[in-house]
Amino acid sequence: MGLLIDGQWADKWYDTDSTGGKFVRSESAFRNWIVSSTDYDNTNSNHFPAEPDRYHLYVSLACPWAHRTLIFRQLKDLEELISVSCVHPDMLANGWEFKEDPSFQDPYIDMGDPLYHSDFAYQLYTRAKADYSGRVTVPILWDKQTQTIVSNESADIIRMFNSAFNDLTGNTLDFYPSELSSDIDAINQRIYDTVNNGVYKCGFATTQQAYQEALEPLFSTLDHIETILKNSAFLVGDVQTEADWRLFTTLIRFDAVYFGHFKCNLKRIIDYPNLNRYLQKLFNTKKISNTVNLQHIKRHYYYSHDMINPTRIVPDGPTTLFRHS
Ligand SMILES: N[C@@H](CCC(=O)N[C@@H](CS)C(=O)NCC(=O)O)C(=O)O
């Protein structure tokens, strides 16, 4: 685990001393947009045109943020247009690595860097910007033509995937319809702060108080969602939106990792009947279960964070992800 400082790799854990034990997530640095050929403006330096076989998506199958982008690639039928590969689940002194390892081969996604055969993800960041300073995170949406990072922000990438390639795929499913955008934004904000990032705030807290301050809002949001799902199929009424998929990637990791490793242990997701049913329904959506690799998920967290789990033992359970009704 580390970061780049003026293009040089430094092996450092998150600094929580300056924030009273709290984990504070950094802003993503690359925020360009892929837009449809109709919206493309070649005078706008943030614009990249939607074209087949031009972009590559680097993910970690363990990472909930990268997982969102993989899900949108499937939901929006982008598999033929955007190539993908994944890092090894262990994130150690050199950060994310591309090393080959048959014991972690995923049945659907190749491990490695097919474009440059890099050893480490940080080499992609320095290829894009030689003097880059900051964290080296996944997902990374890469432009093969200009050899740079389009975006390393999953929230932006799923919005691009939602609409930019529609003319090429003919898939017009809309997970961010304009009439629901303010409701989606509002629930996203709460879920991001207290659940998606909330589990990390609990897990990476280095004081009791910082942990406590993250734990309570996490479970009050889960309780609130349990109530929403009593009368509604999805978070924003009966329409499936990006808000559901943004929540899904945290829920699917919750009982296996966040409950134990991150100490988010007031309740499991299977203890919430509505959330459990909702999670199972999303998991069973066509082409989604293939994006969930629990071996990578468990191995990454339990093995990489040795300050939380010094023995690096990866627990066997849980034996089921859902309570089947
Ligand atoms: N805001 C980013 C966050 C991505 C992120 O933090 N990814 C984690 C993996 S789960 C990562 O790569 N962490 C490496 C680090 O912080 O050094 C996004 O949503 O894309």
Q: Is 96 annotated as a binding residue?
A: yes
Q: Is residue 160 part of a domain?
A: yes
Residue from 229, 241, 226, 324 nearest 284 by CA: 324
pLDDT score at 14:
77
The tokens for 72 are: 């949108």
Residue from 227, 213, 319, 313 nearest 278 by CA: 227
Model confidence pLDDT, tens digit, residues 225-248: 999 999 999 999 999 999 999 999
Sheet strands side by side (includes 82-86): 82-86, 55-59, 140-143, 148-151
Domain with 128 in it: 3-17+25-169
Quote the CA–CA distance of 44 and 32 in Å, as a whole number.
10
Active site residue 63: yes
Q: Whose CA is nearest to atom 13 of ligand 1?
A: 137
Specify the pTM: 0.97
pLDDT score at 17:
81
What ipTM did this prediction achieve?
Answer: 0.99
Model confidence pLDDT, tens digit, residues 149-158: 999 999 999 9
User: What is the DSSP annotation of 88-108?
Assistant: -S--BTTBSB----GGG--SS
Q: Is residue 319 part of a domain?
A: no
Do residues 87 and 106 touch, judged by C-beta distance below 8 A? no
Q: Whose CA is nearest to atom 11 of ligand 1?
A: 137
- Quick one: 142 and 76 in the same domain? yes
Model confidence pLDDT, tens digit, residues 289-315: 999 999 999 999 999 999 999 999 999
What is the distance in A from the centroid of ligand 1 to the CA of 277? 28
Active site residue 202: no
pLDDT score at 24:
87
- Quick one: 67 and 33 in the same domain? yes
- Quick one: 57 and 183 in the same domain? no
Which residues in the chain land under pLDDT 70?
325
pLDDT score at 190:
98
Q: Is residue 300 part of a domain?
A: no
Angle at 168 between CA 171 and CA 177, to 5 degrees: 40
